[in-house]
Amino acid sequence: GEDVEQSLFLSVREGDSSVINCTYTDSSSTYLYWYKQEPGAGLQLLTYIFSNMDMKQDQRLTVLLNKKDKHLSLRIADTQTGDSAIYFCAETDDMRFGAGTRLTVKP
């Protein structure tokens, strides 16, 4: 079947940049999404990118899409302790989510 894969953990220091990576297999995906989930909370949509784009910037967030390699990344600039959460990438043509990357931000 089609899979969405992410590394499980990432730890950075406050103020550094974080880069969370995701690979997907469904080349027909029209939209690719990043969601954030804090402990005990629901999924919060952070940003999304259309498959005909290769980059999207939204304040501290930068999404890069490499369609050839089916690789999606989320860069968080100036990471803060409040950014600590689990980040999910998702392709919603088949409604598939990755297992999530747990970002820990150390002061």
Partner 1 sequence: DTGVSQDPRHKITKRGQNVTFRCDPISEHNRLYWYRQTLGQGPEFLTYFQNEAQLEKSRLLSDRFSAERPKGSFSTLEIQRTEQGDSAMYLCASSYRDSSGETQYFGPGTRLLVL
Q: Give contact residues for partner 1 (rule: CB under 8 A).
A: 4, 30-31, 33, 35, 41-45, 48, 50, 88, 90, 92, 94-100
User: Distance (Å, rounded) from C-alpha 60 to C-alpha 93?
Assistant: 27
User: Distance (Å, rounded) from C-alpha 97 to C-alpha 83?
Assistant: 20
Which residue, 41 or 55, has its beta carbon nearer to partner 1?
41
Please state the closest distance from residue 36 (CB atom) to partner 1, in A: 11
Helices (H), the chain: none
Which residue, 19 or 45, has its beta carbon nearer to partner 1?
45
Which residue, 78 or 93, has its beta carbon nearer to partner 1?
93
User: Distance (Å, rounded) from C-alpha 23 to C-alpha 9?
Assistant: 15
